[in-house]
Structure formats: C-alpha cells, structure tokens
Amino acid sequence: MVTVEADADEVERRLAAGELRCPACSGVLRGWGWARPRQLRGPDGSLQLCPRRSRCTSCGVTHVLLPVTALLRRADAAAVVVLALVEKATRGVGFRRIAAKLARPAKTVRGWLRRFAERAEAVRSVFTVWLRAVDADPVMPGPAGGGFADAVRAIGALAVAIGCRFELPKVSLAETAVAVSGGRLLSPGGPDRRVQHESTLTPG
C-alpha cells in the first residue's frame, strides 16, 4: 500500500509518467485496476472512496494507492480521526464529548484514542525523525503534558515544517499523519520510519 494525493487525476498522471515507486523494490508502479469501493464518513457527510490499484513493473507486487484523506481500514476520513486526537491532546476532552461533537459512536472514538495512546511514543519518535529530515534547523516541539499530547504536537510541528520548506499555504495535520504513517496511524504496527509515501505534502 502506498499513500498518494487526493487528486485522482494527478495520481493517474503520475502513474502514466512512472513517478510512483514500489515500496518493496523501488520499481515503477503502473495502473492495475481498482480496489473495492466503499463509503468514507467525512466531516460533512459521506464520501465515495475507490482507491486505484497499481502493480510494480519490476517485482510484480500490487499495491493499493490510498489517498491522504483516508486511514487504512477506517470508515471515517482521516480529518475526522485526527480532529478527535487534537481535541484529546490540546483540550483534554473525554471520548464521550468528542463523540458527541463529531456525531460518531462513543465506542468508535474511544477506540481511536486508545489505539493512538498505545503507540504515542512510536508516533512521536517517527514524526520527530521526519521533522529533522525536512528542516535542517528545526524548532523541536517541547513537552505538551504527556505522551499522547507530545505525539500530536510532533505531527503538528512536521506539518508546519513541510509548509515552510515548500512554501505551501497550509499542510493539514491529517494529511501529514496519513502520508508519514502510510495510512497506518491507528493500524497494527503503527507508523514506521521506513514507510514509503507518495503524497503532495512534498511537491515534485
């Protein structure tokens, strides 16, 4: 699985131009049909998601191209999930209040918060490494009042650094979280420094 920008036309262009690379062997990815379509619950209603599938011309392995608007195996858009994390990290809001604000089941939101808390230190570490890679002289985020909040602050710091380096008007926390974690922010194994990401967070 490879993360890509949300613009389907741009993804097609990059596939045709051979600009997307296989995370297994760095071979060129080409279009290979489509993954199963599904509904994604966004901040303002349902979204249709039908990710492109690709196949490596070198090793033959297929990869789903997941847009930066989605997290792996989550029914809710990344923006919704990350908003819940920010509410918890910055305001200390409990899962029931967050669920009410987002109009989501309390059990679902509690699951997001628990899974993120379980891997908060790994998230903080990975995003801090990326921060140093993006910014030659980064302002490292200070303690935010606990591991959970520190991890969210690291995501935010990287989003700001990407925006500054590439002169982008705004880089969202959700897109940063998906791109760097390869969509696995809340999945088993969590984010990994070796994740291959192909998003528009870094233009090219």
Residues whose CB falls within 8 Å of the CB of residue 159, separated by 6 or more in sequence, listed in order: 171, 172, 173, 175, 176
What are the DSSP E strand ranges found in 5-121? 29-34, 38-42, 45-49, 52-56, 62-67
Is 102:80 a contact under the CB 8 Å cutoff? yes
156: helix, coil or strand? helix
Identify the residue whose tokens are 């140093």.
132
Phi, psi of 172 (to 5 degrees): -75, 155
Residue 193, pLDDT score: 52
Question: Rounded distance, CA 114 to CA 103, Å?
Answer: 19
Residues whose CB falls within 8 Å of the CB of residue 111, separated by 6 or more in sequence, listed in order: none
Domain ranges of the chain: 2-67
Question: Rounded distance, CA 63 to CA 132, Å?
Answer: 29
Q: What is the pLDDT along the chain (204 residues), one digit of tens a residue?
A: 899 999 999 999 999 999 999 999 999 999 999 999 999 999 999 989 999 999 999 999 999 999 999 999 999 999 999 999 999 999 999 999 999 999 999 999 999 999 999 999 999 999 999 999 999 898 899 889 899 999 999 999 999 999 999 998 889 999 999 999 999 999 987 776 544 444 445 444
Q: Per-residue b/e over 115-129, b at no fewer than 16 CB within 10 Å?
A: bbbebbebbbebbbe
Residue 145, pLDDT score: 87
- Other Cβ atoms closer than 10 A to 188: 9
In this structure, what token pair is assigned to residue 91?
């305001």
Residue 192, pLDDT score: 66
Angle 183-185-191 (CA atoms, 0-180°, nearest 5)? 90
Question: Rounded distance, CA 176 to CA 80, Å?
Answer: 14
